[in-house]
Amino acid sequence: MGQTGVVASPPVRTSLPDAADALLTACAGGDPASFTPVYDALGPVAYGTSLGVLRDPDHAAEVTQEVMVEVWQTAARFDARRGSARTWVSTLARRRAVDRVRSEQARRERDQRDTDLRTGEPVRDVVAEDVERRLEGSAVRRCIDGLTPTQREAVVVAYYGGLTYREVAEQLGAALPTVKSRIRDGLNRLRDCLGVRRG
């Protein structure tokens, strides 16, 4: 009784990937109490990934909640042989964050079109407008697959993610002139592939 500083066993270090894997596997049985350590270990992963895509703390927090609910509901699907719990949660968060970006971008584009109609001042290049209007469907996916990997990455991040040239450069870790060139060249190749004529 005299020794007050003795600890029976060290706490679980949930920052370790294998510990997170074990926690996630343990909560697959549906016990709510087992999900608290999962949330503590993987919630920050979901938030960090979401914030990296959305760049908005409030949106990132909302996406994190959605992701962690999905993790709780689908924990039984997790397979540690296919990747770590952190990778799995990060992938879920990235998908939901990109979906949120697309939704917000679509809303902004609708607002911008309304503004353009009122002011009569087009703000985008005609080629880019034509390509953006076609960013759906199998033809576009085929044409995007025909781009070089660097062009495809830049175009997808810019137009599906709704980012500026500078934001794309920061996200890809590339120089701004390089990113501008990749997007310009990629759009030109998409235009040719889709048969879009310059206005």
Tell me the per-residue pLDDT of 155-166, one tens digit each, with 9 for 90 and over.
Answer: 887 776 677 878
- Max distance between CA atoms of the chain, in angstroms, equals 86
| pLDDT for residue 44 | 93
DSSP state letters, 15-32: TSHHHHHHHHHHGGG--G
| pLDDT for residue 180 | 86
Structure token pair of residue 170:
């920061």
Domains of the chain with CATH codes: 17-102 (1.10.1740.10), 124-194 (1.10.10.10)
| pLDDT for residue 4 | 45
Phi-psi map region of 46: left, alpha, beta (phi>0 left; psi -120 to 50 alpha) = alpha
What stretches in the chain show pLDDT beneath 70? 1-17, 116-140, 160-161, 196-199
